[in-house]
Structure 1
Amino acid sequence: MSLLEIIVLAVLQGLTEFLPISSSAHLILVPLLTEWKDQGLAFDVAIHIGSLIAVMLYFRREIQRMTWQWVESVRRRDVSNQDARLAWAVVWGTIPVGLAGLALKGLIEGDMRTDIGGVVMAVSLIVFGLLLGWADWKHRGTRNEYNLTWKDVLIIGCAQAIALIPGTSRSGITITAGLMVGLSREASARFSFLLSIPVIILAGGLMTVDLIRVQTEVDWWSMFLGIVISGISAYLCIHYFLAFIRRIGMQPFVIYRLVLGGILLYIFLPPLLRAAG
């Protein structure tokens, strides 16, 4: 991989992992616009590690409290502490996407660079983008993530499983669900980011297993650089995204999703219609 490829792909992963705009849609556009070869499984693992390090560093104090109180809640069989409840919410909220990911792994790994895959992504960007805008406009509340009920967690967890559909955006659909159950914009985003930690660990673990099975040669310099760049861009993204949505809201991301979805439809729909005709 060239230095430019490493920088572009790592920055894209770092930003789009946490912005509600779909990382898969952006990563599919890169080879279309540049004709670069597939970056390989090892580099995918590396840039996911960078994103994981970033979110864990940003929420390090919260994670430390949550971990300690979660252990105490197991030992004492008491979930009255708010940090323990939030930790359990992250655990329970991860189960639906974990089960769905294992069940649909083969289908998810299908080639999204086909015309059908591109149209699926485009439609997902548009439909779930409009849903995000509607939730932000109509259902936004004032509760924070410590006030989540178990019903709220179930709704958000099941919504996260929907993100397995390419183009949906994991952060986008979980923020949408958070807004719909009455969380504030910032609380919805924070809980979405905390939910990303076990999801990235699970996804990275599965990719690592696949990487070991393939036994390909690893470019360690590219991986190290990818981790660093992805981590820095993801950390900055989380920080500025939380400040941005507090003042302006989700509508700019809705507009961006509609435009990107329209571009993908323009690219992938005509060949599909010609093939069908």
Structure 2
Amino acid sequence: MTNACTNGLDVGFASLDYLQIGILGVIQGITELLPISSTAHMRVVPALLGWPDPGSAFSAAMQLAALAAVVSYFWKDVRQVATGSVQALRQKDYDNRWFKLAVAIILATIPIGIAGVALSSTLNACNSPLRGLMVIGISCVLMAVLMAAAELTARHRRTVGDMRLRDALIVGIAQIGALIPGVSRSGSTLTAALFLNFKREEAARFSFLLGLPAIALAGLKELWVLSHTELAANAWPHLLFGLVVASVSAFLAIWGLMKFLERFSTWPFVIYRAALGIFLIVAVSTGLLS
């Protein structure tokens, strides 16, 4: 089913009803923070159910739900990074751990900021080739292979307190992959951190904290773009409803993932990604999905 276009922007979500928005909100909230790609699920689920593609604008705006969930769950960390950095600047204590973490997060955000601006016209265009189901399927499989390699080679020794600027830059570069549907922001950053020998729960923690600036910038930018687009009257209530549903789902997803990674590996996500990717490749190749 083709996208609903308004001034060249895909805004298919405006044609969905509240039940459909609620279902997609739950899926978006859960998959945004799990290493399985929310963008992929925002394309695959509507395609399987015969719904319009809600569009990349919807997916980007829904990231603000993830922002609210991450800030709520990691409020202690967020507050300490903010207050610790301010205090360090006042005292010129540049060895302060919270100041170093803040610098690491800022440094790691620069690559995706540059790439996001460069690719924004392609990513948000109606019927963007990057949102094709075959592209998503291939991305899912490739990321499954990388996650598997990370699990097999990682030594799981390091913590966020050991983070060096070089580590942050490597993870930040990996985050660029999130711009391709099917890769997953949390998946790419978590995998990069595992390759750097961070403990699983510590890798996830840094992945979430690192994502705050990128998620905030992407979500707010998309709201600004949508505010300058002639949307249908029901579009904004739909978006607000989706944000509320996705926020609750995202918080539960963080809680579940952190508890899971304290005891288990990422292999279930590897298997799920590989299965989803192979299904999409076969479905598109055989004409089951188009």
Instruction: Please indicate, yes or no, whether the TM-score normalized by the shorter chain is above 0.5.
Output: yes
Which of 23, 29, 52 is the aligned partner of 1:8?
23
The residue that corresponds to 1:229 in the other structure is 245
The residue that corresponds to 1:133 in the other structure is 148
Structure 1 residue 87 corresponds to structure 2 residue 102: yes
Residue segments in structure 1 that go unaligned for 5+ positions in a row = 272-277
1:80-159 superposed matches below 5 A:
80-110=95-125, 117-159=132-174
Contact 2:112 2:173 in 1 (8 A): yes
Which of 177, 181, 191 is the aligned partner of 2:196?
181
**2 CA distance for matches of 1:189 and 1:44?**
21
Structure 1 residue 63 corresponds to structure 2 residue 93: no
Residue segments in structure 2 that go unaligned for 5+ positions in a row = 1-15
Contact 1:42 1:218 in 2 (8 A): no
**1:87: how far off?**
1.5
Structure 1 residue 167 corresponds to structure 2 residue 187: no
**2 CA distance for matches of 1:57 and 1:73?**
24
> Cα deviations across residues 154-180 of structure 1 (Å, max 9, x unaligned)?
110110012212211110010000011
**Could you state the TM-score of these two structures normalised by the residue count of structure 2?**
0.86
Letter in 2 for 1:167: G
**2 CA distance for matches of 1:39 and 1:160?**
23
Identity %: 38
The residue that corresponds to 1:274 in the other structure is none
Change (3 A) 1:115 1:242: closer
Change (3 A) 1:112 1:183: farther
Which of 241, 255, 274 is the aligned partner of 2:257?
241
Structure 1 residue 267 corresponds to structure 2 residue 280: no
Task: Select between 252-261 and 23-32 the one with higher mean Cα deviation.
Answer: 23-32
1:248-263 superposed matches below 5 A:
248-263=264-279
Cα root mean square deviation, aligned:
2.2
Contact 1:55 1:235 in 2 (8 A): yes
The residue that corresponds to 1:275 in the other structure is none
**1:209: how far off?**
2.1
Change (3 A) 1:168 1:15: same
Change (3 A) 1:195 1:112: farther
How many residues are aligned here? 272
**1:70: how far off?**
1.6
